[in-house]
């Protein structure tokens, strides 16, 4: 199927561009500033526009979804990624330039990331959504592992800003892949477009409140992002403080995390795992989230490089399981007419968790130190699990809603 094949290619290229961009920017920021605050700010500048811009993006997509918009957005993103390499040539190497580029990349990326999920909702039949999302996760994980190991072996010092030239190329490949999808395969938009107003956003919120399964996923996503985003933002500090290592070990930690994603996702994809009972799937997600919290708590106090690498592999496996099941459930449950708006609310709430976590991480690193900061965010994840189990209990008391019902 053309849509599925090209969407896989586009997502893989997007993932490769994302990991190269993130790794390069994060390490460049740390080398320029040597500041946990700057690391948190750089990730916050990326997350804030991506998080809150998603609300408007979701409404626009439910009413106007066009191939030319996706291609155009990707091409502009590719050009923005070239700003830093060009600036470096002219010896313009400032933290504020990196923030500016990151801000625009986030705004443009908020459209693309949501667009690919909406296309999957419309182009993949419900029983194959979990397998499709597992293939997405495993493929992107393989791409990330290859890139990160290559960087560990061949770029033992500072990741070159020239990697952003590759980022730009990969984004263009993603644009071409979605551009080759036949126009008739794109989601149908509303005949009478709705205006962007609070009343129309309320339709998405009302649907979320009416379906406890979506509420569980909303709370779970908030907790995962609240715990994970700040931990990853402070990873260079962990590498330097506990292991006295350079970017090679930083890359290896991320590679092990991606390897965990690959293993779990391949098992789900090729064992043809399906979601037959949403409540059972949600129980699995929350159980894995408990493991996820325990891994974060342990990762902040480990001094063995081998054990730390194993923990990050397990962290990737847990994150992949949670994300794949949650995305698949959302795509199955949400009606076609609301899919982009509801997904945008989920993205906004989850991203808000990450933004709050980043602010708390900067405070925690300066006041209570690295170990207690990791323990604090593990506790936040546990609280989110407890709240999710409460809503799941509420779901058991109600009659189950048929999957895909509009």
pLDDT digits (tens, 9 = 90+) for 138-147: 888 888 777 7
DSSP 195: P
Tokens, residue 51:
């998080």
pLDDT tens track for 285-341: 888 988 998 998 888 887 788 888 899 999 999 988 998 888 888 888 888 778 888
Would you mind telling me the total number of residues written for the chain in this entry? 406
**Which helix or strand (DSSP H or E) is residue 253 part of?**
helix 247-270
Q: Which of 15-19, 50-54, 215-219 has the lowest mean pLDDT?
A: 50-54
Provide the 3-class DSSP secondary structure of residue 389: helix
- Residue 162's φ and ψ, nearest 5 degrees, are -70, -15
CA 62/CA 342 separation, integer angstroms: 10
What one-character-per-residue DSSP string does 350-364 give? HHHHHHHHHHHHHHH
CA 399/CA 100 separation, integer angstroms: 49
404 confidence band (pLDDT: 50, 70, 90): very low
CA 99/CA 37 separation, integer angstroms: 13
In whole angstroms, what separates CA 85 from the centre of its chain? 25
Give pLDDT, residue 314.
92
Is the separation of the CB atoms in 136 and 264 below 8 Å?
no
Is the separation of the CB atoms in 298 and 182 below 8 Å?
no
pLDDT tens track for 230-270: 777 777 777 777 776 555 677 778 888 888 888 888 888 88
CA 104/CA 288 separation, integer angstroms: 34
CA 86/CA 100 separation, integer angstroms: 14
192 confidence band (pLDDT: 50, 70, 90): low
2 by Cβ neighbours in 10 Å (0-12 / 13-18 / 19+) ranks as: exposed
381 by Cβ neighbours in 10 Å (0-12 / 13-18 / 19+) ranks as: buried
7 by Cβ neighbours in 10 Å (0-12 / 13-18 / 19+) ranks as: buried
CA 153/CA 29 separation, integer angstroms: 21
135 has a pLDDT exceeding 80: yes
Provide the 3-class DSSP secondary structure of residue 82: coil
The radius of gyration computed from the CA coordinates of the chain, to the nearest angstrom, equals 20
The CA-based dihedral angle spanning residues 400, 353, 42, 310, taken in that order and rounded to the nearest 10 degrees: -70
Provide the 3-class DSSP secondary structure of residue 97: helix
Residues of the chain above pLDDT 70, percent: 85
Provide the 3-class DSSP secondary structure of residue 92: coil
What pTM did the predictor assign? Answer: 0.74
Tokens, residue 379:
């506790």
Is the separation of the CB atoms in 341 and 201 below 8 Å?
yes
The residues, ordered by sequence, that sit 6+ positions from 189 with a Cβ below 8 Å of its Cβ are 62, 63, 64, 65
DSSP 32: H
Is the separation of the CB atoms in 287 and 322 below 8 Å?
no
Tokens, residue 406:
């509009």
158 has a pLDDT exceeding 50: no
Is the separation of the CB atoms in 77 and 110 below 8 Å?
no
What one-character-per-residue DSSP string does 138-157 give? HHHHHHHHHHHHHHHHH--S
Give pLDDT, residue 196.
61
Cα-Cα end-to-end distance for the chain? 25
250 by Cβ neighbours in 10 Å (0-12 / 13-18 / 19+) ranks as: buried
pLDDT tens track for 377-391: 888 888 888 888 877
């Amino acid at each position: 199927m053309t849509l599925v094949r090209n969407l896989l290619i586009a997502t893989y290229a997007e993932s490769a561009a994302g990991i190269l961009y993130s790794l390069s920017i994060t390490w460049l920021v740390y080398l320029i500033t040597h500041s946990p605050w700057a690391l948190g700010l750089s990730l916050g500048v990326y997350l804030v526009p991506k998080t809150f811009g998603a609300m408007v993006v979701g409404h626009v997509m439910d009413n106007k979804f066009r191939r030319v918009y996706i291609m155009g957005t990707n091409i502009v993103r590719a050009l923005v990624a070239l700003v830093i390499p060009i600036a470096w040539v002219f010896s313009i190497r400032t933290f504020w330039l990196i923030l500016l580029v990151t801000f625009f990349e986030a705004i443009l990326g908020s459209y693309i990331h949501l667009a690919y999920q909406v296309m999957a909702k419309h182009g993949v039949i419900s029983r194959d959504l979990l397998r499709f999302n597992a293939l997405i996760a495993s493929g992107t994980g393989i791409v990330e592992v290859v890139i990160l190991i290559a960087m560990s072996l061949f770029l033992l010092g500072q990741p070159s800003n020239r990697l952003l030239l590759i980022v730009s190329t990969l984004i263009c490949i993603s644009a071409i892949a979605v551009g080759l999808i036949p126009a008739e395969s794109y989601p149908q938009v509303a005949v009478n477009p709705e205006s962007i107003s609070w009343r129309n956003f309320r339709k998405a919120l009302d649907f979320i409140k009416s379906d406890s399964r979506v509420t569980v996923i909303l709370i779970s996503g908030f907790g995962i992002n609240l715990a994970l985003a700040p931990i990853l933002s402070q990873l260079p500090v962990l590498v330097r403080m506990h292991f006295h290592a350079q970017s090679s070990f930083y890359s290896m930690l991320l590679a092990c995390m991606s390897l965990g994603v690959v293993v779990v996702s391949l098992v789900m994809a090729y064992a043809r795992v399906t979601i037959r009972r949403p409540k059972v799937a949600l129980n699995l997600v929350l159980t894995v989230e408990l493991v996820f919290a325990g891994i974060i708590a342990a990762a902040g106090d480990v001094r063995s490089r081998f054990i730390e690498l194993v923990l990050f592999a397990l962290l990737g496996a847990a994150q992949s399981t949670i994300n794949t099941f949650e995305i698949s459930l959302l795509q199955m449950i949400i009606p076609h007419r609301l899919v982009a708006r509801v997904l945008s609310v989920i993205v906004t709430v989850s991203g808000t968790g990450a933004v709050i976590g980043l602010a708390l991480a900067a405070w925690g690193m300066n006041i209570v130190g690295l170990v207690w900061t990791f323990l604090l965010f593990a506790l936040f994840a546990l609280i989110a699990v407890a709240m999710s189990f409460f809503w799941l209990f509420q779901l058991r008391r109600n009659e189950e809603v048929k999957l895909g019902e509009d």
